[in-house]
């Protein structure tokens, strides 16, 4: 990345941020500008961290939003710390949940954390990334240490949080240990003596209230919160989530990734531009200017976006074949040249086949797809969910516009 002025660095680093309050955003922007000036004068990089609770090992593009921001700091020469919340995972962050979150075991958190870090290096420079596990310091705190952390907060501060307030109003339980999560995250920042902490809008309280308060009360300069918007899923509305089926997995084929990006609504493209690409504010401004004037068609902008995202995770050489596959399948209504095979070892009902092959996440989803006339075997639209499927030669099973499976008879 070419050397940028402090003003340009601030523009890039604040790209995609959301605080829900313009005054707070202005304050964080100003603090970041001042901290960058001081660091430049002192000849030192900023110390930047983001914590990741490894709740899963199966990451999707939505998980990468803060990692992309870390990479931007990294390319500007700043020190980046990737904190695996092996200890905080044992509680579970209640920030975006309206019910108590299930706790992980230490072994689950360790295994997931290793997978999480490995996948993050598709974005981060591993040689310039410091990886830390927060159990190495949090597990050493005494009960008195925890009391000293807790005494700077009030119960009202926690009850004012939307998720806690909703549970309180509904008479649902709020467990005391859930309030410890913000204290622990605040202590992470204090222990690491960071200048900047990155997180999503669901982390606003933990970062801007808790972490800064913990640092100030312990005589440290409070870190600056870079609060990023939440990436919508392929539906363009709801937060990307595997459970909702609107996610774009990292560990998928270039063709599938390209097709899923192309399925997002036009209105969601801006979020993807700002949160998951390598594009600068100037590039994004130019694209949106051309879209607004009609000079650039939304389809072409989305194809550029799909190429960019595939290139990040699969390399530049994979983007063009993925695009050609998309054009062949979706624009020319063809069938992809390479589709996975499924050996039909026994006679199954259509519902069972869709669920067991993975073309549907469950039998209920399979029934819904069949009812919507979204399932084809060869050229025939399948309408009977209980129809027993048997084949003597390979056949193409298609669900919707983008999912194909080649059924082959048992040898």
**Inside any domain, residue 127:** yes
- Residues 265 and 298 placed together within one structural domain of the fold: yes
- Residues 279 and 177 placed together within one structural domain of the fold: no
Q: How many domains does the chain have?
A: 3
- Residues 95 and 147 placed together within one structural domain of the fold: yes
Confidence tier at 268 by pLDDT (50, 70, 90): very high
Identify the residue with better confidence: 338 or 216: 216
Asked if residue 101 has pLDDT above 70, the reply is no
Asked if residue 92 has pLDDT above 60, the reply is no
**Inside any domain, residue 240:** no
The predicted model scores a pTM of 0.76
Q: Can you tell me the mean pLDDT for 117-143? A: 92
**Inside any domain, residue 191:** yes
- Residues 152 and 15 placed together within one structural domain of the fold: yes
Asked if residue 96 has pLDDT above 80, the reply is no
Nearest to 345 by CA among 407, 264, 266: 407
* pLDDT at residue 26, rounded to an integer: 96
Asked if residue 265 has pLDDT above 70, the reply is yes
* pLDDT at residue 103, rounded to an integer: 65
- Residues 299 and 390 placed together within one structural domain of the fold: no
- Residues 398 and 354 placed together within one structural domain of the fold: yes
Domain boundary among 300, 331, 362: 331
**Inside any domain, residue 23:** yes
| CATH number of the domain where residue 267 is located | 1.10.240.10
- Residues 306 and 174 placed together within one structural domain of the fold: no
Q: How far is CA 125 from CA 13, 157, 196, 366, 403, in A?
A: 18, 38, 19, 42, 34
Identify the residue with better confidence: 378 or 332: 378
* pLDDT at residue 111, rounded to an integer: 83
Asked if residue 7 has pLDDT above 90, the reply is yes
**Inside any domain, residue 336:** no
- Helix (H) and strand (E) counts for the chain? 18, 12
- Residues 52 and 14 placed together within one structural domain of the fold: yes
- Residues 261 and 183 placed together within one structural domain of the fold: no
| CATH number of the domain where residue 218 is located | 3.40.50.620
Q: Can you tell me the mean pLDDT for 291-310? A: 94
- Residues 170 and 283 placed together within one structural domain of the fold: no
- Residues 345 and 309 placed together within one structural domain of the fold: no
| CATH number of the domain where residue 392 is located | 3.10.290.10
pLDDT digits (tens, 9 = 90+) for 313-329: 999 999 999 999 888 77
Q: Which domain holds residue 165?
A: 6-228
The whole-chain average pLDDT of the chain stands at 88
Domain boundary among 303, 331, 359: 331
Could you give the CA distance from residue 23 to residue 30 in angstroms, rounded to a whole number?
Answer: 11
pLDDT digits (tens, 9 = 90+) for 34-48: 999 999 999 999 999
Could you give the CA distance from residue 317 to residue 320 in angstroms, rounded to a whole number?
Answer: 7
- Residues 134 and 268 placed together within one structural domain of the fold: no
Domain boundary among 280, 309, 331: 331
Scored b (16 or more CB within 10 A) or e, 107-134 reads ebbbebbebbbebbeebbeeeebebbbb
Asked if residue 338 has pLDDT above 70, the reply is no
Confidence tier at 106 by pLDDT (50, 70, 90): confident
**Inside any domain, residue 108:** yes
Q: Which helix (H) or strand (E) holds 403?
A: strand 403-409
């Amino acid at each position: 990345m070419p050397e940028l002025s402090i003003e340009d660095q601030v523009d890039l680093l604040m790209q995609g941020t959301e605080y829900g309050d313009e005054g707070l955003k202005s304050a964080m922007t100003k603090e970041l500008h001042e901290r960058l000036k001081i660091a430049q004068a002192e000849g030192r990089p900023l110390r930047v961290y983001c914590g990741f609770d490894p709740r899963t090992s199966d990451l999707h593009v939505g998980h990468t939003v803060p990692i992309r921001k870390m990479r931007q700091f990294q390319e500007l020469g700043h020190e980046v710390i990737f904190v695996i919340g092996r200890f905080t995972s044992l509680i579970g962050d209640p920030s975006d949940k309206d019910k108590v979150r299930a706790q992980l075991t230490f072994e689950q958190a360790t295994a997931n954390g290793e997978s999480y870090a490995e996948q993050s290096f598709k974005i981060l420079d591993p040689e310039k990334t410091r990886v830390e596990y927060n159990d190495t310091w949090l597990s050493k705190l005494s009960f008195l240490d925890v009391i000293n952390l807790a005494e700077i907060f009030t119960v009202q501060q926690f009850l004012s949080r939307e998720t806690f307030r909703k549970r309180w109003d509904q008479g649902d339980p709020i467990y005391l240990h859930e309030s410890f999560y913000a204290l622990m995250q605040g202590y992470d920042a204090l222990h690491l003596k960071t200048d900047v902490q990155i997180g999503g809008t669901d982390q606003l309280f933990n970062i801007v209230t808790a972490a800064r308060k913990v640092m100030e009360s312990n005589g440290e300069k409070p870190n600056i919160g870079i609060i990023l918007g939440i990436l919508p899923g392929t539906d363009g509305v709801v937060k990307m989530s595997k459970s909702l089926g609107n996610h774009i997995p990292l560990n998928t084929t270039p063709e599938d990734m390209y097709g899923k990006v192309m399925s997002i609504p036009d209105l969601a493209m801006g979020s993807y531009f700002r949160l998951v690409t390598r594009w600068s504010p100037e590039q994004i401004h130019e694209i949106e200017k051309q879209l607004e004037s009609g000079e650039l068609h939304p389809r072409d902008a989305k194809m550029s976006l799909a190429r960019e995202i595939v290139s990040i995770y699969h390399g530049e050489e994979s983007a063009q074949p993925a695009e050609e596959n998309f054009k062949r399948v979706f624009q020319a209504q063809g069938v992809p040249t390479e589709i996975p095979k499924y050996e039909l070892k026994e006679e199954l009902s259509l519902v069972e086949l869709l669920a067991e092959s993975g073309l549907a996440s469950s039998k209920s989803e399979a029934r819904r797809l069949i009812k919507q006339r979204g399932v084809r075997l060869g050229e025939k639209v399948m309408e009977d969910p209980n129809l027993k499927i048997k084949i003597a030669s390979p056949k193409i099973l298609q669900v919707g516009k983008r999912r194909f499976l080649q059924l082959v008879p048992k040898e």
